[in-house]
Structure 1
Amino acid sequence: MSGDDHDSERAVAQGTFDLLHPGHVHYLREAAEHADELHVIVARSSNVSHKEDPVLPARQRRDVVGAIDAVDEAHLGHESDIFVPIERIGPDVIVLGYDQHHDEDAVAAALDDRGIDCDVARAGPRDPKYDGELLSTGRIVDRILERRG
């Protein structure tokens, strides 16, 4: 599937989106600027292997992400093949988060191997806007444990 299979430009953002915070909102708003539609793929808990397991269930994370103004549609990731929703959505660009562990060149090569014609971009950082603002799920969890644990 290629970006030419639909009328409007589509962008895809993806991630875990556990305990949504301003950094997530910044990423999704910036990703939305790349196209007319923003589709977000929310990782299933079973596919999160690069960090601690999510606190919230995948469907709850998807529903909260879908409520953000910049998001046109939020999807659950596939249980075993992360490219299945990408093939279904047919994006023109995949926008990676500023601090996501993915390598742009490796993602582009995997897309090319599967015949998916889309660009890969990376969102920029969002600096804290005030003292004490937390832009990391891990830091939010740490703060909760520090104050209530």
Structure 2
Amino acid sequence: MFRERDAWRYDPPYDFYDSDGLPVKNPELFFAVREERGGLAGFYFFEPCGDALFYGLGLRPDLTGRGLGERFVRAGLAFAEPIHGRRRVVLHVAAFNERAVRVYRRAGFVETGRHSEAFDGYGPVEFVDMEKPG
């Protein structure tokens, strides 16, 4: 899965999400989403954090901006529930990614704060902290 994802290239400013072949931390927490023909369409990431579940995800670049986001987000939540139980779900999304912020809001997430992280080649990036009650 990770080699396929390494080939993904997003248009700016979303190229922030390009993996550039960097090693993945905790690969056991990732789940591949495959097309009928077997190609990688996206992935989910779930990490238990106390009473919450940290949620990450990604869609292949050619599938973004086509109205698939909310359904993809909700499908990931439904997939996680039998594994992790019904619990509060948290995520962080780059503030510039207004499309994703809107999708998460439609899926029931609310903003709980903001923080910044520094990244090589990008400098400080502001993130929106979001939560969906369990």
- Higher radius of gyration, 1 or 2: 1
User: Is the strand fraction higher in 1 or 2?
Assistant: 2
TM-score, structure 2 as length reference: 0.32
TM-score, structure 1 as length reference: 0.30
User: Is the helix fraction higher in 1 or 2?
Assistant: 1
